[in-house]
Amino acid sequence: MPDMSASLALTHLVPLAKEVDENKVTPGVLGFIVFAVMALAVWGLMKSMNKHMQKVDFKESARSGADSGTPADRKS
């Protein structure tokens, strides 16, 4: 019987939804706060990524003879 209670709840909510004026609905202060927090989080992640990417050395260093080759070559 859970389907019956869910459909009953939806039928009671439909008239409430029709009372709301669709031209006046806005995200409000809570929507702005959530958006601002997400923007600050993305900014912080980008700043952290930039810091970590500058630590990476993209130039491949010269390998010694013992380190060169495939892993299978090194086992034998």
Q: What HEC string does the chain produce?
A: CHHHHHHHHHHHHHHHHHHCCCCCCCCHHHHHHHHHHHHHHHHHHHHHHHHHHHHCCCCCCCCCCCCCCCHHHHHC
pLDDT in tens, 9-62: 656 656 655 666 777 878 889 999 999 999 999 999 999 999 999 998 878 777
| pTM of the shown model | 0.46
